[in-house]
Amino acid sequence: MFKRRNLVTLLAGTFLVASSAMAQFSERNIKFTNGVNEDHPVGVGVKKMQEILAAKTGGKMKITAFWGGMAGGDLQATQALRAGTQEMVCTSSSPLVGIVKELGVFDLPFLFANEKEADAVLDGPAGKYFNAKLEAAGLVNLAYWENGFRNLTNSKRPVAKLEDFEGVKVRVMQNNIFLDTFKTLGTNAVPMAFPEVFSALESRAIDGQENPFVTIETSKFNEVQKYLSVTRHAYTPFLILYSKKLWDQLNPQEQAVLREAAIEGQKVQRAANRALNEKSLASLKTKGMQVNEVSSAEQSRIRTKVAAVYDKHKDSIGADAIKAVQDELKKARGG
Ligand code: TK8
């Protein structure tokens, strides 16, 4: 008898906690901007976040997503987050090196060999190290999603060996390490925000750009680019950032549900991105791109050529950041 009464009290208590939890979500409409288009796997991740928010907050917290860079490029949106005028952005890490210099480690060419290594680094202590740096700069990183391994496209000539890079005018992200890598390869490299790239390629102001297959296809670069080289020269993470200023106005439950949604989003986004990668390559061929594989002999010539970029930038990135990543890479490589 005594026991049963205890159970009843316990159950009643649980219901109270559950219903007051619901009451603690305020009506919020969260602005979330993207440089990629909605048919990029980031769209799958954002949809997952929206479903979780709907289910867990009784529809009180909502995400309104903007696509295709219509609300500005990665850097511009990230600055809006720091100023507290926008809640969220999905951004590549690279354009943010002027804000958090340590992120430059991800821009070092050929850092990761595969997605497994990237996950081990981003989802472990190294990822937390960068999150702390971001937070100090006014940015809460909810999760690492995936942009992926980058490949060169251009409209000038097939690029299959080191010498072919010479003189091609290539757009790079607003990032010194990319700029240096592509200069070292002999291209005429120009930094530019992502939303300007399509029309710059179309008007032939530039010859080429580099991005993962999936981003190339969903941004329709194949319509204005003939040649695709399988270079896999760098892996770019996507950061799912929330304005720290606005984050601090949320209560702990609201913060927890957003973190949970971003992690669930990460799972479906990465899975969708990986499932699509090879399909996108095949589809880009069907749509008329000429694909040039880069032989392993040429790959190693390219690697040797850009090795100098590591030495040149290691001081500005900082030894701590490089060590944080390399420690995890060693573990992932079983060493
Ligand atoms: C989209 C960008 C893009 C990136 C770039 O906002 O700028 O080339 O790879 O995917 O983050």
Residue 295 resides in a domain = yes
Query: pTM of the prediction?
Result: 0.93
Q: Does 207 share its domain with 328?
A: yes
Asked whether residue 251 carries a pLDDT value surpassing 50, the answer given is yes
Residue written as token pair 């969708």: 272
Work out how many domains the chain is built from and give that number. Answer: 2
Compute, in angstroms, the gap from residue 176 CA to the centroid of ligand 1. 15
In the reported structure, the alpha carbon of residue 69 is separated from the centroid of ligand 1 by a whole-number distance in angstroms of 9
Distance 238 CA to ligand 1 centre (A): 9
Ligand 1 pocket test, pick from 32, 33, 34, 36 with the greatest ligand atom count within 8 Å of Cβ, gives 36
Q: Report, as an integer, the average pLDDT of 104-124.
A: 98
322 CA to middle of ligand 1, Å?
23
Would 85 be classed as within a structural domain? yes
What is the interface pTM, i.e. ipTM, of the complex?
0.99
Relative to the CA of 219, which ligand 1 atom is closest?
Answer: 10
pLDDT band per the 50, 70, 90 thresholds, residue 335: confident
Residue 93 maps to a domain: yes
| Owner of token pair 């219901």 | 15
**136/243 same-domain check:** yes
Q: Which domain holds residue 298?
A: 151-234+279-332
pLDDT in the model for residue 5: 55
**pLDDT tens-digit readout, 115-125:** 999 999 999 99
If asked whether residues 240 and 226 sit together in one domain, one would say no
Average pLDDT over the chain reads 94
pLDDT band per the 50, 70, 90 thresholds, residue 1:
very low
In the predicted structure, residue 55 carries a pLDDT above the cut 50: yes
Return the half-sphere exposure (C-beta side, CA atoms, 13 A cut-off) of residue 325.
19
Per-residue pLDDT band at 170 (split at 50, 70, 90): very high
In a shared domain, residues 99 and 84: yes
Are residue 309 and residue 188 in the same domain, yes or no? yes
Q: Is the pLDDT of residue 109 over 90?
A: yes
Q: What is the CATH number of the domain that holds 116?
A: 3.40.190.170
Whether residues 40 and 100 fall in one domain: yes
Closest Cα to residue 150, out of 269, 219, 231?
A: 231
pLDDT score of 142 more than 70? yes
Query: Which residues, at least 6 apart from 304, have a Cβ–Cβ distance to it below 8 Å?
Result: none
187 plus 60 within the same structural domain: no
Same domain, 283 and 308: yes
